[in-house]
Structures are given as structure tokens and as C-alpha cells.
Amino acid sequence: MNTPSYLQPGDKIIIVSPAGRVSEKYVLPAAEWLENQGYRVELGKNVFATHFQFAGTDLQRYKDMQRAIDDKEAKAILCSRGGYGTVRIINKLDFSLFSEYPKWLIGFSDITIFHSCLNNKRIATIHGVMPKYFFDKKGAPNENLITLMNLLTGKKVSYTIPGSEYNQPGKVTAELIGGNLSIISSMYGTCCELNTKKKILFLEDIDEFLYHADRMMHQLNMSGKLSKLAGLVIGNFTDMKDNESPFGKSIHEIISEAVSIYNYPVCFGFPGGHDEKNLALAFGKTWELDVSKIKTTLTLI
């Protein structure tokens, strides 16, 4: 695994918008905060462009992303937001210089496509908070931002969370991968299809129907993605929806049922993804996952 250099004061961070459009009021305060920490921040030329729901046309978003990928000085690419649109430009992008000059790619949600693509290229990335969610209601850096900066600067990271009745106890050390369930499911059969063999898979999602989630879990099972895992971490599944005729199972019950035949550790309720708490995770890096019914500890090795 190729791990980008950890950030030092004076390093360059580029903020881009590869998917949904974003307001200046979310990005500029984040850029100012990063500059106050001693980093050089550059905004993509089209970071605030708009084209219907997108941050500019496909060509504008592609050009911004390609410039960031090719920048030999940049040490990190921070995506301004998720939404939708990354899939429309991913095949156009050339990552050859990125492999030669790796930098941290940061984001979640729709940015899962980049995480999967770069994991296949054996480059570590960070599933973490984006500018809109940097600060608490008083304008101070929140826990999400603090954990992101800890990973970016090479600090030791370990998370301990309460247990769950759905947890499958066990302990394993393996590479961590994953992201948004809907995106991971949609990438099956493409160049961004995730290799799950002997890895810890992290999953989260938002605003999905329960039966959609059930179908995606069955797809992962039927394709062998779940049987090959070393472990599973279930993050935030926010604002899940049901039909007028109830599905009959909660999201945790759906996932628990899908993996109950396997004996690897499974953690439910990790605070990562679409919710107020979204702790940063380094994908492609090795983590120790220790799960019991009482608590779970996830430690970066």
C-alpha cells in the first residue's frame, strides 16, 4: 500500500468539487481554518460552479479533479461535498501522476468511488468529514475535524464505542476498506469494484429504503464479497425509509441476517458516515478490530 506523506505546515491542500454543487459559506470558512493551521489552500477553478445539481459540467469537474491529481506539490485533495456526479467523470481521469506523487484524497458518500478506485491502485485514502461539517454550532472544530487532522498528520488513532446486541465478537488485524453501501454496490463489475478479500469492510448509507439495503446486502453476499471478509464495521445508516407495507426488519437486522453465517467480527454502530458524528478512517491502512457485545475498539496499526 502506497501511503501519502503526512501533512506538515506549509503543505498544499487543494479543495475540489467532483460531484454535487456547494455553497461558498461552507467551503471558505474551512479553507480559512486550514490556512490558519499553516497549510496552503488552493480552490479548484470550478469549485463553486453550478450546473443543475452538479458543481459545474462534467468537463469542468473533470478538469478541476485532473489538475488536482496531477499537482506535484499538493499533499491532499479535499472534496468539498458528495452528492452525485463522481461516477460521471471517474473513467476520464488519468491517475498515472497520482501514483507517482500520491496525496491524501479525503471525503465520503459519493467520494466512495475514489476510495474504491484508489484502493485498487494500492493508494491509501481517508474517509472523513468535508468542509460543510468541519465545525460545531459555535464555529469551533468538531470531533470529526479533529480525527481527520489526526490521520492527516500521522498521529496515533484509536476509537472505542459501546457494544451492540447485533455485534459478532472477535478480534482481527487487517486492511480497512469501504464507504457508502449504495456506491459500493453500484461499482460491481467496473474498474472501481472493491476487492474485499481478507479485509475489514466499513459500510454506511443514507436515505435508502430498507428493501434496497436488503437487496444490496444480498448482492454482496451472492457475489462473494461478504464471505471473503476479515471483519465488518457498520457505520451510520441515516434516515432509512420503509414502504407503506413494512419490510419487517431494521437495518441492523438486515445486515446481521446477511452475515450471521460467517464467524468474523462484526461491529454495529460505528459513528462514521452521514450523521452528526463522522469519525475519520484511513482506508488502505491496517487496523485492529476488537469486537465484543460490550464494546468495540478500532485501532490504526
Compute the average pLDDT of residues 82-92: 98
Compute the average pLDDT of residues 219-233: 97
User: Are residues 201 and 272 both part of a single domain?
Assistant: yes
Task: Express each pLDDT in 62-80 by its tens digit.
Answer: 999 999 999 999 999 999 9
* Residue 5 domain flag: no
Q: Residue 80, Cβ neighbours under 10 Å: how many?
A: 27
Q: Which amino acid is at 219?
A: Q
Q: Residue 194, Cβ neighbours under 10 Å: how many?
A: 24
**How many whole angstroms from its chain centre is CA 85?**
15
- pLDDT of 207 reads 98
HSE of 11, CA atoms in CB hemisphere, 13 A = 17
- pLDDT of 285 reads 98
Total domains in the fold of the chain = 2
Compute the average pLDDT of residues 150-175: 98
* Residue 266 domain flag: yes
- pLDDT of 177 reads 98
Task: Assess contact for 30 and 140: CB atoms under 8 A.
Answer: no
Cell 429504503 found at: 209
User: Are residues 110 and 23 both part of a single domain?
Assistant: yes
CA-to-CA separations, 145 to 20, 81, 160, in angstroms, rounded: 21, 14, 18
* Residue 110 domain flag: yes
The strand pairing partners of 244, in sequence order, are: none
User: Are residues 175 and 296 both part of a single domain?
Assistant: yes
**How many whole angstroms from its chain centre is CA 77?**
13
**Of 152, 182, 211, the domain-final residue:** 152
Task: Assess contact for 226 and 258: CB atoms under 8 A.
Answer: yes
Domain around 139 = 12-152
- Report the CATH number that the domain containing residue 86 is assigned in CATH: 3.40.50.10740
User: Are residues 84 and 186 both part of a single domain?
Assistant: no
Confidence of residue 229 (pLDDT cuts 50, 70, 90): very high
* Residue 37 domain flag: yes
Q: Is 143 helix (H, G, I), strand (E, B) or coil?
A: helix
User: Are residues 213 and 270 both part of a single domain?
Assistant: yes
User: Are residues 169 and 121 both part of a single domain?
Assistant: no
HSE of 268, CA atoms in CB hemisphere, 13 A = 19
Task: Assess contact for 54 and 22: CB atoms under 8 A.
Answer: no
- pLDDT of 239 reads 98
> Quick one: cell of 31?
479553507
- pLDDT of 206 reads 98
**How far is the C-alpha of 142 from the C-alpha of 109, rounded, in Å?**
19
- pLDDT of 96 reads 95
- pLDDT of 78 reads 98
Would residue 179 be called left, alpha or beta, if left means φ above 0 and alpha means ψ between -120 and 50 degrees?
Answer: left
Q: Which of 160, 219, 154 is nearest to 185 (CA)?
A: 219
Q: Which of 41, 217, 16, 233 is nearest to 105 (CA)?
A: 16
Kindly provide the b/e burial profile for residues 129-152, where b requires at least 16 CB atoms within 10 angstroms of the residue's own CB: bbbbbbbeeeeeebebbebbbbbb
Mean pLDDT for the chain?
A: 98
pTM of the model: 0.97
User: Are residues 163 and 94 both part of a single domain?
Assistant: no
Task: Express each pLDDT in 9-60 by its tens digit.
Answer: 999 999 999 999 999 999 999 999 999 999 999 999 999 999 999 999 999 9
